[in-house]
């Protein structure tokens, strides 16, 4: 991979307020190449054309779904001079938990089993276990680069909770300036619930709303769904004229002294301060039967506010009327931390207009781009995990969106997502032991035990983190302490996913010689090289037996067999766990077994009949996605024998097979 180009990061607008040990202030961002891997062109061409006529704002812009880290995605946007009008991000909350989803065997017919019973375990989607300082440095850098791709009138909504939100508020003041803070929104995501007996229940998240400059878009929104407004409607809208149409009476007295609005109207003298509206406006209301005219000339005139036209109360900063995604909701995707579409709908309608570009750089299951597309906005969605990209892709296709999928070519080979890659890294290091086994502190990930009782401590900088000179200095201070704590360490390994261009083994050796604080040897190891040496075991591909035959004027494609080494191991582990728990001792027939065909291991099948070089364009009419209780169809009729087929298993792994290789 060639050396990436670098962009300067614009310094923060505000004063640095949050100080902690190891605080870093990044200055540059790497630009990696982005490969177009799929073009999705929807079926709803007519609707798209109508939208193009409605507004030509950003009419040439292609919606983007980007697989890669937020930093790399923003560098790409910057290289293309793309500015976004609204950003919503729902980053990790530093909650101290790993988030996973269940994976299900797809079953049907007589072998159908309940969804709960068909789960063969969980796949970690992303890790949210952080050292606080690492998290704040990580997010600060991303906030800086996000601001660099925001337009002058753009806004950003940052969704967090009680774990870390109060610290991030200070970072946001630094990045965007205290003067550009707009609101702290409290979203009540759940009702009262059982909690610890010594504290109040936690039922809310916090969303920080900032503008990028002096001006920003704000379209006031209203709600009729919260309890207070429902009570208000019930108590106030009590009048009707016999037609069943409820209304309330609203005074027409001007709160200011307006002599020019003092005029007699239908025999009624004006209030001392004047009417609320002009004579022309009052005549229009009268002709539309929107006024209550008293029978005597001494009573007041009121305006009728009809219940069916009442927008509701203006939304304030406490949102109690947007429920979480319940288990039976149509939009539910069984994705941890999934946010409701209604929440995104309110944010997008409030802070953007039609045709504007809405970005979500931690898109997860994809509610933001989906809602943006529904509301005739353009969108950019980004996530580093393949599972999130697949979920968002399928969701957008279902909603009729058109978009391109890009993959950032940062040279990093991921095992599904960062959390699973991190967990797997240490399994391919011979003799690796956990830090608790070696009595190391929390800084270290573990170490390699030697037969003589010594060990080699191992530190991995993380998937998201770039190894900078400043960060390396922090690591070296920890390394210097090793000789004082224990004489058992003889050398050290530092594994990195990304690093500054200037950092290499020679630079590290120079720093060690300059300080002369340790005799330990410190070795730098690239994650890419580590996986390149031993990673084939992690990335062993699935295989499929597919038959193609002529069927009249069509070509029949039959999925005969499918096998996944990874899922086979997953099922074996599941059965072993059940046996250990005693669940299978009496009845081995209840053990999970892969069928002869193995089709229950497949989540979806796609076909590309365009055969564009290096770019996948799915034939949406041929896409076959299994439900939890349904297998794929397994047999497909095509108009051509020139195609590629993409098969995705239930864990998210994909293989692509060229039709030319099939018989």
- Verify that 570 and 646 share a domain, yes or no: yes
Question: Is the per-residue pLDDT at 591 higher than 50?
Answer: yes
pLDDT at 120 over 70: no
Any idea what DSSP says for residue 395? H
The stretch 335-350 carries a mean pLDDT of: 90
**Residue 584 counted as domain residue:** yes
Comparison of pLDDT for 214 and 329, the residue scoring more? 214
Do residue 90 and residue 208 come from a single domain? yes
Whether the per-residue pLDDT at 112 is higher than 50: the answer is no
- In a shared domain, residues 87 and 25: yes
Q: List the structure tokens of 582.
A: 């005693």
Ordered DSSP codes for 329-374: -TT--S-TTPPPHHHHHHHHHHH--TT-EEEESS-TT-HHHHHHHH
Which pLDDT score is estimated for 414?
57
89 and 212 part of one domain? yes
Domain of 443: which CATH number?
3.40.1340
Do 147 and 66 fall into the same domain?
Answer: yes
Q: How many domains does the chain have?
A: 4
In a domain, 314, yes or no: no
pLDDT for residue 446 is more than 90 = no
Residue 611 lies in a domain: yes
Contacts of 632 (CB under 8 A, 6+ apart): 106, 559, 599, 602, 604, 605, 624, 625, 626
| Distance in angstroms (rounded) separating the CA atoms of residues 604 and 366 | 18
CB distance 223 to 182 below 8 Å = no
Q: What angle do CA 199, 202, 207 make, to 5 degrees?
A: 140
- Domain assignment present for 232: no
Contact 448, 455 (CB under 8 A): yes
Q: What is the pLDDT of residue 60?
A: 87
Is residue 231 packed enough to be buried (19+ CB in 10 Å), middle (13-18) or exposed (0-12)? exposed
- Tally helices (H) and strands (E) across the chain: 15, 33
Closest CA to 221 of 357, 321, 349, 378: 349
Asked if 466 and 532 sit in the same domain, the reply is yes
pTM of the model: 0.74
Q: What is the predicted pLDDT for the residue at 409?
A: 84
* pLDDT, position 48: 47
pLDDT (tens digit, 9 = 90+) per residue, 370-398? Answer: 999 999 999 999 998 888 898 899 999 99
Number of residues written out for the chain: 663
Where does the pLDDT of residue 245 fall: very low under 50, low under 70, confident under 90, or very high at 90 and above? very high
Confidence grade of residue 118 (pLDDT, cut at 50, 70, 90): low
Helix H or strand E encompassing 296: none
Residue 585 has pLDDT above 60, yes or no: no
Highest mean pLDDT among 12-21, 50-59, 126-135, 417-426 belongs to 12-21
Please report whether residue 394 resides in a domain: yes
Q: d(Cα 29, Cα 421) in Å, to the nearest integer?
A: 23
Percent above pLDDT 70 for the chain: 84
Task: State the CATH number of the domain containing residue 593.
Answer: 2.60.40
pLDDT at residue 111 is higher than 60: no
Same domain, yes or no: 651 and 575: yes
> Is the pLDDT confidence value at 565 over 80?
yes
Beta bridge partners of 292: 302
Domain end, chosen from 484, 507, 536, is at 536
Helix 341-351 with 367-374: angle, nearest 10 deg: 60
Task: Check whether 199 has a pLDDT greater than 70.
Answer: yes
Phi, psi of 312 (to 5 degrees): 105, -175
What is the DSSP annotation of 585-632?
A: SS-GGGS----SS-GGGEEEEEEE-S--TT-B---GGG-EE--TT---
Residue 576 lies in a domain: yes
pLDDT digits (tens, 9 = 90+) for 280-304: 999 999 999 999 999 876 688 999 9
CA-to-CA distance for 444 and 479, rounded, in angstroms? 10
Instruction: Mark whether 178 and 33 lie in a shared domain.
Output: yes
Better-predicted residue by pLDDT, 115 or 478: 478
The CATH number assigned to the domain holding 90 equals: 3.40.50.150
Rounded distance between C-alpha atoms, residue 457 and residue 438, angstroms: 9
Range of the domain at 578: 543-661
The answer to whether 610 and 632 have CB atoms below 8 angstroms apart is no
Considering the domain architecture, whether residues 444 and 302 belong to the same structural domain is answered as no
Q: Are 489 and 482 in contact (CB under 8 A)?
A: yes
CB within 8 Å of 270: residues ≥ 6 apart: 261, 262, 263, 264
Contact 100, 124 (CB under 8 A): yes
Q: Is 311 helix (H, G, I), strand (E, B) or coil?
A: coil
| 419 CB-near residues (< 8 Å, 6+ apart) | 98, 124, 125, 126, 127, 385
Q: In what order do the strands lie in the sheet with 654-658?
A: 624-625, 602-608, 644-649, 654-658
Kindly state the average pLDDT of the residues 140-165. 95
- Residue 109: the pLDDT is 38
Residue 192, Cα to own-chain centre: how many angstroms?
Answer: 27
Instruction: Kindly state the helix (H) or strand (E) to which residue 532 belongs, with its residue range.
Output: helix 527-534
Q: Which pLDDT belongs to residue 562?
A: 94
DSSP-assigned letters across all residues of 143-176: HHHHHHTEEEEEEEEEEE-TTTHHHHHHHHHHHH
When the pLDDT of each residue in the chain is averaged and rounded to a whole number, the result is: 84
CA distance linking residue 367 with residue 539, whole number of Å? 30
More confident of the two residues 93 and 448 = 448
DSSP string, 541-588: PPEEEEEEEEETTEEEEEEEEEE-HHHHHHHHHHHHHHHHTTSSSS-G
CA–CA distance, 209 with 203 (Å, rounded to integer):
20
What are the phi and psi torsion angles at 135 (to 5°)? -60, -45
In 3D space, the residue among 569, 573, 566 whose CA is nearest the CA of residue 654 turns out to be 566
Q: Using CA atoms of 63, 418, 132, 147 in order, give the dihedral in degrees to the nearest 10.
A: -20
Chain CA centroid to CA 212, Å = 22
Taking the C-alpha atoms of residue 127 and residue 418, their distance in angstroms, rounded to an integer, is: 8
Cα–Cα–Cα angle for 215, 219, 222, rounded to 5 degrees: 145
Query: Quick one: average pLDDT of 157-182?
Result: 94
Report the distance separating Cα 427 and Cα 82, nearest Å: 41
- Greater pLDDT, 404 or 96: 404
Query: Of the ranges 238-247, 330-339, 492-501, 624-633, which one carries the lowest mean pLDDT score?
Result: 330-339
Both 376 and 456 in a single domain? no
pLDDT in tens, 492-519: 999 888 888 889 999 999 999 998 888 8
Convert the pLDDT of each residue in 636-646 to its tens digit.
999 999 999 99
Interatomic CA distance for residues 356 and 353, integer angstroms: 6
Q: Mean pLDDT over residues 231-235, rounded?
A: 92
Taking alpha carbons only, the member of 71, 164, 74 closest to residue 468 is: 71
Residue 440's CB is within 10 A of a number of other CB atoms, namely: 23
CB-based contacts of 545, cutoff 8 Å, min separation 6:
559, 560, 561, 562
20, 171 in Cβ contact below 8 A? no
Q: Both 550 and 571 in a single domain?
A: yes
Query: What's the token pair of residue 306?
Result: 């009809």
User: Looking at 424-433, 451-460, 598-607, which range is the least confident one?
Assistant: 424-433
Per-residue pLDDT, 116: 41
Ranking 175-189, 201-215, 613-627, 634-648 by mean pLDDT, the lowest is 613-627
User: Can you list the positions of beta strands (E) in 105-253?
Assistant: 119-128, 150-160, 181-188, 204-211, 222-223, 247-251
Q: Is the pLDDT of residue 402 over 60?
A: yes
Closest CA to 460 of 419, 504, 496, 420: 496
| pLDDT value at residue 633 | 93
520 and 433: one domain? yes
Which of 409, 439, 467 is the last residue before a domain boundary? 409
- Within 10 angstroms of residue 662's Cβ, the number of other Cβ atoms is 16
- Band of the pLDDT at 226, cuts 50, 70, 90? confident
Q: Which of 282, 309, 336 represents a domain boundary (last residue)?
A: 309
Residue 227, domain member (yes or no): no
Which one is predicted more confidently, 597 or 131?
597
The confidence score (pLDDT) of residue 255 equals 92
Put residue 309 in one of left, alpha, beta given phi > 0 → left and psi -120 to 50 → alpha. Answer: alpha
226, part of any domain: no
Q: Which of 228, 251, 248, 230 is nearest to 307 (CA)?
A: 248
């Amino acid at each position: 991979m060639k050396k990436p180009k670098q962009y300067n990061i614009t310094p923060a607008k505000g004063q640095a307020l949050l100080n902690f040990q190891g605080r870093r202030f990044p200055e540059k961002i790497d630009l990696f190449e982005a490969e177009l891997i799929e073009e999705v062109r929807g079926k709803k061409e007519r609707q798209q054309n109508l939208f193009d006529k409605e507004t030509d704002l950003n009419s040439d812009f292609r919606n983007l779904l980007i697989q890669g880290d937020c930093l790399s995605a923003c560098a790409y946007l910057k290289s293309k001079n793309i500015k976004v009008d609204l950003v919503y991000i729902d980053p990790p909350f530093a909650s101290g938990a790993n988030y996973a989803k269940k994976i299900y065997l797809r079953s049907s017919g007589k072998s159908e089993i309940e969804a709960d019973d068909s789960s063969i375990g969980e796949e970690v989607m992303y890790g949210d276990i952080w050292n606080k300082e690492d998290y704040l440095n990580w997010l600060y850098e991303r906030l800086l680069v996000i601001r660099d791709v925001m337009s002058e009138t753009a806004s950003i909504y940052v969704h967090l909770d009680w774990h870390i939100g109060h610290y991030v508020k200070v970072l946001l003041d630094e990045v965007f300036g205290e003067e550009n803070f707009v609101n702290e929104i409290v979203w009540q995501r759940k009702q009262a619930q059982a909690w610890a007996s010594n504290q109040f229940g936690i039922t809310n998240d916090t969303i920080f709303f900032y503008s990028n400059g002096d001006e920003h878009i704000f379209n006031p929104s209203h709600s009729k769904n919260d309890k207070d407004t429902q009570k208000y409607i019930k108590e106030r809208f009590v009048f009707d004229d016999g037609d069943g149409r409820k209304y309330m009476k609203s005074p027409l007295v001007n709160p200011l002294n307006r002599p020019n609005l003092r005029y007699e109207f239908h025999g009624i003298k004006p209030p001392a301060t004047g009417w609320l509206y002009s004579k022309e406006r009052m005549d229009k209301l009268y002709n539309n039967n929107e006024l209550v005219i008293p029978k005597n000339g001494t009573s007041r005139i009121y305006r009728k506010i009809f219940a069916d036209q009442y927008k509701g109360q203006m939304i304030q900063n406490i949102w109690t009327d947007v429920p979480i995604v319940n288990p039976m909701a149509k939009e539910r995707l069984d994705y941890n931390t999934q946010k409701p579409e209604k929440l995104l709908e309110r944010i997008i309608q409030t802070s953007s207009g039609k045709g504007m570009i809405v970005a979500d750089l931690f898109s997860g299951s994809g509610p933001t781009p989906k809602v943006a597309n529904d509301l005739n906005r353009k969108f950019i969605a980004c996530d580093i995990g393949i599972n999130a990209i697949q979920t968002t892709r399928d969701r957008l296709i279902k909603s009729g969106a058109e978009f391109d999928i890009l993959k950032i070519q940062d040279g990093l080979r991921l095992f599904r997502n960062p959390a699973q890659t991190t967990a797997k890294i240490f399994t391919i290091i011979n003799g690796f032991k956990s830090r608790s086994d070696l009595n190391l502190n929390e800084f270290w990930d573990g170490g390699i035990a030697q037969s003589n009782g010594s060990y080699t401590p191992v530190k991995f900088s993380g998937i998201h983190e770039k190894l900078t000179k400043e960060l390396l200095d922090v690591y070296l201070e920890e390394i210097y302490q090793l000789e004082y704590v224990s004489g058992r360490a003889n050398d050290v390994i530092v594994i990195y996913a990304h690093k500054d261009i200037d950092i290499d083994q020679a630079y590290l050796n120079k720093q060690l010689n300059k300080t002369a604080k340790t005799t330990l040897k410190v070795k730098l190891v690239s994650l890419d090289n580590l996986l390149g040496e031993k990673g084939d075991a992690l990335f062993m591909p699935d295989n499929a037996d597919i038959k193609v035959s002529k069927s009249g004027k069509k070509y029949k494609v039959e999925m005969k067999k499918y096998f996944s080494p990874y899922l086979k191991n997953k099922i074996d582990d599941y059965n072993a766990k059940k046996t250990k728990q005693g669940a299978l001792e009496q009845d081995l027939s209840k053990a999970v077994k892969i069928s002869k065909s193995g089709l229950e291991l497949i989540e979806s099948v796609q076909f590309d009949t365009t055969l564009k070089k290096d770019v996948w364009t799915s034939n949406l009419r041929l896409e076959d996605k299994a439900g939890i209780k349904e297998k794929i169809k397994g047999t497909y009729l095509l108009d051509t024998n020139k195609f590629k087929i993409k098969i995705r298993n239930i864990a998210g792994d994909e293989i692509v097979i060229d039709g030319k290789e099939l018989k």
